Amino acid sequence: MHRTLLCAMAFAVAWGTPLAARAQDPELSKLREEVRQLRQAYESRIQALEARLKETEAKAGKAEPSAAQAETAAAGTGTRPAGENAFNPAVSLILQGTLAGNSRDPGTYRISGFVPSGGEVAPPKRGFSLAESELNVSASVDPYFRGQLSAAFTPDNRVEVEEAYFQTLALGRGFTLKGGRFLSGIGYQNEIHQHAWDFQDASLVYKAFLGGRLNDDGLQLKWVAPTDLFVELGAELGRGRQFPGAEGNRNSVANAGSLFGHTGGDIGASMAWRAGLSYLRASPQDRGYGDLDSTGTGVNNTFSGKTRLWAVDGIFKWAPNGNSTQTNLKLQGEYFQRSEDGSLTYDTQAASLGTQSGSYSSRQSGWYLQGVYQFVPQWRVGYRYDRLGAGTTSIGQVSSGALSAADFPILGGYNAKRNTLMVDWSAGEFSRLRLQLARDYSRIGEPDNQILLQYIMSLGQHGAHRF
Amino acid sequence: MIQVKLVFAACLIAATLPASAALNVFACTPEWGSLASELGGDKVTVFNATNALQDPHRIEARPSLIARARSADLVVCTGAELEIGWLPLVLTQSGNSKIQAGQPGYMEASSYVELIEKPQRIDRSMGDVHAAGNPHIHLDPRNVAKVAAALSDRMAALDSAQSAYYRERARFFLQRWAAATAEWEKRAAPLKGVPLVVYHRNLSYLVRWLGMREVGNLEPKPGLPPTASYLVELLAQLQRDPPKAVVRSAYNDPRAAQWLAERAGIPSELVPFTVGGTERAKDLFGLFDDTIERLLGAVK
Ligand SMILES: [Zn+2]
């Protein structure tokens, strides 16, 4: 019976039914769940008391162990809460910084062939540079909700809310609802905080397609299947406040939405894997970017239309008997494919050849593959290969002859690639020092040799061992 | 479209699963899994999240663990922050309301025993210290008895239809356990006062129960791997109070222990640490039988 209901709900989610239509269901089941829990709590109390009484009676004759059980009976009801502190939120602080050298100016970094994503995608500044310091605060709100805040203090003295969300604990049946601002569940790397990445920077696909990472404001519903094989399905609705969306001023429920599914498991004791498929759709309105047109004038162009992104992700981990202390291996790869259709407005400020609009469509893709190997405790080496395919872009104003391709230089066909090597050392679980070398062909005709040293220090609450 | 297909596939899988009546127990470590089997018999299905060859401090929230937690009726873990790196993540991701902290389906064994080695000062300059006290409680059989009583209560409460069955099994187990404990104490009498070097402070309850003495740790600080310079220092320091053996758990790297044992001219001995750590440690009884036998063999 439940399964039928469950599947019906899952289908509704998968088809993207409006949220309002589904609102009653969780409401009802939450109430039902509350009543059930109350009843269960009382029942278990009485049962436990009865059982303990019998137990103590039964063992009254025996000397040592029964004394121990009497103690247990006295202390028995208490359960210390797991992990996070009872009432005080768990707090952690991450300190990061880099010492970097680049053969090209990071200040002019752009990925040729792709619409600039506007995110923080440039390599770290040359020389010493503080990176984002991250403050994490989390706790259970009550038996029904948990809350978390991740705030980043940027080196230029701003505070950014990376995540601030609530998450349900009591929906049950595999459902979890998240609301607020959160790292989207699409792909693999997106949900991982930057300080836990295996390389200092994001892969090129994340930089080009998601502006580094996707953390929209909205809602996420996730469901875990009641199977031994891990199967997780999720749907998100968001305001589309950042790339590939663009903040619109509309009353619509969602300017962006995504669907994702992940599956995974173990292969024996030594291997574990996870694979996923995600779909993101956004309707940006006047999503702007700057470029230099054929006259050498800086112009501002905007795109309005639809953007669709497909992502395939896979991760595989190996450690002898599943004990990662001595040695372990991690392989990770993701493939992104995006199509955009709509209209492109050239020179919105009429700074050069005058404002004009036309159709725009593009089909682009990219992927990366990386491996990280811990060869002795504390030491890891890693290699990453990045590749982007600029694919096909057709601009109406260019095909009609009104403008030339030279007026949109950043959209010119170019397949960026990058090779990255890293070695890092971790004293324990709380500090890490990293050396990273990269040869980055993101900019057409300008290979960039990058070297950096990075530190990551974690204070406070023990970090989560995310898979 | 593919998501829709995925949902459909998942529903098909779900529909073909038998609606199992047994209590699904998710045990964080093998000792609690083994205890749950002793107490629950064929009325429970036990899943062990980790094995004896894995360092319990370093587990990741693997997809398989989330999947198993999803269907669990009862989660039995050590608590005292032993599983802090992965369990909270598994619980929140599982979407299972029954096993969240504070619910009847969530049990921490360490809340039922007196923890030792509570740090005076909690500061990570001391290493990855266990702030609540030493969580490796299961190698004192008196602790196991306390946890058994509590676990049996919990099973009876969650599966009230079978409460008489659980009570009966608990009575039977505790009887056998009390007898075995007395027998182990008798057999281990020669271990009283014996000085040992251990790898991590995960044998403290065993050491205390049998009246042995811990005179050194291979870890310079909790959670940090042994270094050459520290081992040299330790070796020199041990001249004052020479240990009888270097003891490590099944999941520890043998090299540091062997290095020190060779230099100090004493045996290096492995103990199973938990169920499954050695051939003989098939269940909780075998775990203690084998541990004591190995220790006796090493210090002979
Ligand atoms: Zn420990």
- Enumerate the domain spans of chain B: 20-183, 188-299
CB pairs under 8 A between A and B: 282
Give the integer Cα–Cα distance in Å for B298 and B292.
Answer: 10
Residues A451 and A126 sit within 8 Å (Cβ to Cβ) = no
pLDDT (0 to 100) of residue A41 = 58
The residue type found at A115 is: V
- Which chain B residues are within 8 Å of A324, Cβ to Cβ? 55, 58, 60
* CB-CB under 8 Å, A378 with B13: no
Residue range A204-213, pLDDT digits in tens: 999 999 999 9
Structure tokens at B181: 């404990």
pLDDT (0 to 100) of residue A204 = 97
What confidence tier does A467 reach under pLDDT thresholds 50, 70, 90? very high
The residue type found at A97 is: G
- Which chain B residues are within 8 Å of A279, Cβ to Cβ? 2-3
Shortest CA distance to A147 belongs to which of A91, A202, A199, A82? A91
- Which chain B residues are within 8 Å of A262, Cβ to Cβ? 63
User: Which of A45, A50, A324 comes nearest B58 by C-beta?
Assistant: A324
**Chain A residue whose CA is closest to B3:** A14
- Between the CA of A168 and the centroid of ligand 1 the distance, in Å, is 31
In the predicted structure, residue A52 carries a pLDDT above the cut 90: no
The alpha-helical segments, DSSP class H, found in chain B are: 2-16, 30-40, 63-70, 87-94, 141-158, 163-187, 204-209, 228-238, 254-264, 284-299
Residues A58 and B175 sit within 8 Å (Cβ to Cβ) = no
What confidence tier does B122 reach under pLDDT thresholds 50, 70, 90? confident
What confidence tier does B119 reach under pLDDT thresholds 50, 70, 90? confident
List CB contacts of A462: < 8 A, sequence separation 6 or more: A92, A429, B81, B84, B85, B128
Give the integer Cα–Cα distance in Å for A345 and A192.
Answer: 35
Handedness of CA A322, A323, A325, A327 (dihedral sign): negative
* CB-CB under 8 Å, B50 with A83: no
CATH class of B20-183: alpha beta
* CB-CB under 8 Å, B79 with A80: yes
Q: What mean pLDDT comes out for the span A133-144? A: 93
A70 against B265, higher pLDDT: B265
Structure tokens at A166: 């609530």
Which of A229, A231, A310, A376 best tests the B interface by mutation, with the highest count of B CBs <10 A?
Answer: A231
Residues A377 and B225 sit within 8 Å (Cβ to Cβ) = yes
- Between the CA of B232 and the centroid of ligand 1 the distance, in Å, is 23
- Which chain A residues are within 8 Å of B103, Cβ to Cβ? 37, 143
Instruction: State the fold for domain B188-299.
Output: Rossmann fold (3.40.50)
Q: Which residues partner with B218 through β-bridges?
A: none
Q: Which strands, in side-by-side order, build the sheet including B44-48? A: B44-48, B23-27, B74-77, B106-108
**Chain A residue whose CA is closest to B94:** A174
Residue range A105-132, pLDDT digits in tens: 999 999 999 999 988 899 999 999 999 9
- Which chain A residues are within 8 Å of B160, Cβ to Cβ? 43-44, 47
Tokens 């309301």, residue located: B97
Handedness of CA A77, A81, A85, A89 (dihedral sign): negative
User: Do B188-299 and B20-183 have the same topology in CATH?
Assistant: yes
In the predicted structure, residue A87 carries a pLDDT above the cut 70: no
User: Which of B14, B51, B62 comes nearest A227 by C-beta?
Assistant: B14
User: Which of B51, B128, B146 comes nearest A321 by C-beta?
Assistant: B51
Supply the DSSP symbol for A252.
-
- Which chain B residues are within 8 Å of A38, Cβ to Cβ? none
Predicted model pTM: 0.85
pLDDT (0 to 100) of residue A72 = 38
- Which chain B residues are within 8 Å of A15, Cβ to Cβ? 4
Residue range A391-438, pLDDT digits in tens: 999 999 999 999 999 999 999 989 999 999 999 999 888 999 999 999
- Enumerate the domain spans of chain A: 2-60, 67-460
In the predicted structure, residue B85 carries a pLDDT above the cut 50: yes
Residues B277 and B52 sit within 8 Å (Cβ to Cβ) = yes
H or E stretch at A143: none
Which of B12, B70, B83, B181 best tests the A interface by mutation, with the highest count of A CBs <10 A?
Answer: B70
The Cα of A36 is separated from the nearest Cα of chain B by a number of Å equal to: 11
User: Which of A82, A224, A227 comes nearest B17 by C-beta?
Assistant: A227
Max CA distance (Å), chain B:
72
In the predicted structure, residue A25 carries a pLDDT above the cut 60: no
pLDDT (0 to 100) of residue A28 = 52
Instruction: Give the ipTM of the model, two decimals please.
Output: 0.88
The Cα of A188 is separated from the nearest Cα of chain B by a number of Å equal to: 13
The Cα of A379 is separated from the nearest Cα of chain B by a number of Å equal to: 12
The Cα of A272 is separated from the nearest Cα of chain B by a number of Å equal to: 7
Give the integer Cα–Cα distance in Å for B299 and B296.
Answer: 6
- Between the CA of B81 and the centroid of ligand 1 the distance, in Å, is 9
To the nearest whole number, what is the mean pLDDT of chain B?
91
Which range is least confidently modeled, A17-26, B146-155, B162-171? A17-26
What confidence tier does A61 reach under pLDDT thresholds 50, 70, 90? very low
User: Which of A52, A80, A321 comes nearest B153 by C-beta?
Assistant: A52
- Which chain B residues are within 8 Å of A78, Cβ to Cβ? 111
* CB-CB under 8 Å, A262 with B63: yes
Q: Calculate what percentage of chain A has a pLDDT beyond 70.
A: 80
In the predicted structure, residue B12 carries a pLDDT above the cut 80: no
Which of B5, B6, B8 best tests the A interface by mutation, with the highest count of A CBs <10 A?
Answer: B6
* CB-CB under 8 Å, A227 with B13: yes
The alpha-helical segments, DSSP class H, found in B58-211 are: 63-70, 87-94, 141-158, 163-187, 204-209
- Between the CA of B206 and the centroid of ligand 1 the distance, in Å, is 14
Tokens 């996707």, residue located: A214
Residue range B39-57, pLDDT digits in tens: 999 999 999 999 999 998 8
User: Which of A79, A233, A323 comes nearest B6 by C-beta?
Assistant: A233
Strand pairing report for A271-282 and B245-249: unpaired
* CB-CB under 8 Å, A230 with B66: yes
Shortest CA distance to B249 belongs to which of B231, B222, B276, B228? B276
> What distances in angstroms separate CA A420 from CA A199, A335, A369, B258, one per listed residue?
8, 18, 11, 38
User: Burial, A243: exposed, middle or buried (Cβ in 10 Å; 0-12, 13-18, 19+)?
Assistant: buried
Residue range A28-37, pLDDT digits in tens: 565 566 656 6
Distance, C-alpha A323 to centroid of its chain: 26
- Residue A129: phi and psi, rounded to 5, are -155, 130
In the predicted structure, residue A374 carries a pLDDT above the cut 60: yes
- Between the CA of B133 and the centroid of ligand 1 the distance, in Å, is 9
The three-state secondary structure class of A226 is coil
Q: What mean pLDDT comes out for the span A191-195? A: 95
Which range is least confidently modeled, A167-181, A244-258, B156-170? A244-258
Angle at which helix B163-187 crosses helix A64-75, to 10 degrees, equals 130
User: Which of A33, A167, A464 comes nearest B97 by C-beta?
Assistant: A33
Residue range B198-253, pLDDT digits in tens: 999 999 999 999 999 999 999 988 888 899 999 999 999 999 889 999 999 999 99
Structure tokens at A107: 């200040």
The Cα of A202 is separated from the nearest Cα of chain B by a number of Å equal to: 22
pLDDT (0 to 100) of residue A424 = 97
Buried b (16+ CB within 10 A) or exposed e, B26-63: bbbbbbbbbbbbbbbbebbbbbbbbbbbbbbbbbbbbb
Give the integer Cα–Cα distance in Å for A204 and A438.
Answer: 12
The three-state secondary structure class of B254 is helix
* CB-CB under 8 Å, B96 with A172: yes
Question: What is the DSSP code string of A425-463?
Answer: EESSSSEEEEEEEEEEE-STT--EEEEEEEEEEEEESPP
pLDDT (0 to 100) of residue B263 = 92
To the nearest whole number, what is the mean pLDDT of chain A?
86
Instruction: State the fold for domain A67-460.
Output: Porin (2.40.160)
- Which chain A residues are within 8 Å of B64, Cβ to Cβ? 228, 230, 264-266, 272
User: Which of B66, B89, B174 comes nearest A59 by C-beta?
Assistant: B174
Residue range B17-40, pLDDT digits in tens: 444 569 999 999 999 999 999 999
* CB-CB under 8 Å, A167 with B64: no
- Which chain B residues are within 8 Å of A76, Cβ to Cβ? 112, 149-150, 153
User: Which of B95, B96, B111 comes nearest A80 by C-beta?
Assistant: B111
What confidence tier does A27 reach under pLDDT thresholds 50, 70, 90? low
Distance, C-alpha B152 to centroid of its chain: 18
In the predicted structure, residue B166 carries a pLDDT above the cut 60: yes
